[in-house]
Amino acid sequence: MAKTELTLSIERALKYYRPVTTGGIKLNTARGRTTAFEVPVECGTTHSGMIDCVRINEYFKLNIGEIEGTPKILITCYEIKVTKTDFKSKNGHNFIGNLNYYVIPKEIYTEVQHLVPEGIGIILFNKYDLRRKVESKFNELTDSEQKWLMMSVMKRIRFGKEGND
């Protein structure tokens, strides 16, 4: 199935999307991030589906009374839905990251907001930019889940003209 121009525009916007915080977590902006598109839910297979976009960032977890935090990995999954019909389809609702968001055109927000499961965030696309409308709830991942998802991301990184960020 060919991607629509709107889907490609949202992917471009996600590639350059650089929030300082997400899901209430302050990201380490001094370090790079890794973004990949069409990432298998299960490493090495597409049987369980594909995640439209996955980003890996570093953040610092601060405990009460600490000045320096412990570096942690944050995995954020983005599912792109461009129409209400697309949103209601059975495909592409793969939320397995620490944070999980739907990325939708702002025009369909009122039509689909009631269909979004609790804990899943919403990012609105408006021509060229992205704005978080609803924050995602943080989900703890096991070391094994995190490792396999990171491996899937590393296998899907686009180099060359689009590059990795």
The contacts of residue 51 (CB under 8 Å, 6+ apart) are: 38, 39, 40, 41, 77, 78, 79, 94, 96, 97
pTM: 0.88
How would you write the pLDDT of the chain (165 residues) with one tens digit per residue? Answer: 457 899 999 999 999 999 988 888 888 888 878 899 989 887 655 556 889 999 999 987 766 666 666 788 999 999 999 999 998 888 878 899 999 999 999 999 999 999 999 999 999 999 889 999 999 999 999 999 899 889 888 888 765 444 455
